[in-house]
Amino acid sequence: MVQIKTPEQIAKMREAGLVVAAIHAATREAAVPGATTRDLDEVARKVIADHGAKSNFLGYGGFPATICTSVNEVVVHGIPDDKTVLKDGDIISIDAGAIVDGWHGDAAYTAFVGSGHAPELIELSRVTEESMWAGIAAMRLGARLVDISKAIEGYIKRQPRPAVGDHSLGRYGIIEDYGGHGIGTEMHMDPHLLNYVSRKRGKGPKLVPGLCLAIEPMVSLGTPRTEVLADDWTVITTDGTWSSHWEHSVALTEEGPLVLTAVDGGKAKLAELGVTAAPDPLA
């Protein structure tokens, strides 16, 4: 069953979403050369505590931290530790969540550590983020779940891969084994949202007011395939190519989409795409 939220429940999810946004801001500032991924987790723990919220990552299926810290070829679910020290030129995807009064928020972003990043890495993150926004813009009343998948995949496939020297890098890899999901009283709920169109899955449910989704494309510079390391959490690309992960939690209302985990509710970016964001219930 797909959980449909009332306006009052969406307002609670907005509170949780703003805690996640605060985690993002604090960890982005802390993601500097010399910091460990454990340092970033401590920053996130403090933000959650300062807001009187709870972590939805800590203890989830046995996960031992409050954020996922996925560096370079790690796609998702990297575990913070004292051994992983960020270096100049690294990229890191930080996935964070929070619970307020039983309602969940969940979002991720890719950050550049230090300077000197190759143009193809900068473009990789841009393409991944913009494909997420294309998916959010497709979250319209009366559309189907597959329309979001189609928008994400279509955007990525339209982007040329940067060339390195005299060689084109080919196409981006849209990660196949992981995707978006419903969110509400649990972090992961139906429906599962693919970042590509599958003929086997059909069109999926209609998008109706009160539907809340975490929209999260994951894209690599190479293969779409992944493997899980021996810790049973860390997911890497099978060819070792670096990847990017972007995510926002979004509520669909009678007045349009509300990006629950964006500080401005998605207003500015959606306007660029010709979409009017729903009013912020906390404004």
Tokens coding 139:
């979250």
- Interval 168-184: pLDDT, tens: 556 899 999 999 999 99
Q: How many domains does the chain have?
A: 1
Closest CA to 101 of 216, 9, 195: 9
Which stretches of the chain are DSSP H helices? 7-30, 37-50, 119-137, 145-158, 267-272
Binding site for a divalent metal cation: residue ranges? 95, 106, 181, 216, 247
d(CA 107, CA 244): 13
d(CA 243, CA 234): 13
Q: Is residue 190 part of a domain?
A: yes
- Interval 237-265: pLDDT, tens: 999 999 999 999 999 999 999 999 999 99
If one counts every other C-beta atom within 10 angstroms of the C-beta of residue 74, the result is 25
CATH code at position 11: 3.90.230.10
Binding site for substrate: residue ranges? 77, 188
CB-based contacts of 181, cutoff 8 Å, min separation 6: 188, 189, 190, 191, 192, 193, 213, 214
Q: Is residue 114 part of a domain?
A: yes
Q: Which helix (H) or strand (E) holds 245?
A: strand 243-245
Residue 34, pLDDT above cutoff 90: yes
What's the pTM value of the predicted model, to 2 decimals?
A: 0.96
Binding site: residue ranges? 77, 95, 106, 181, 188, 216, 247
Q: Is residue 253 part of a domain?
A: yes
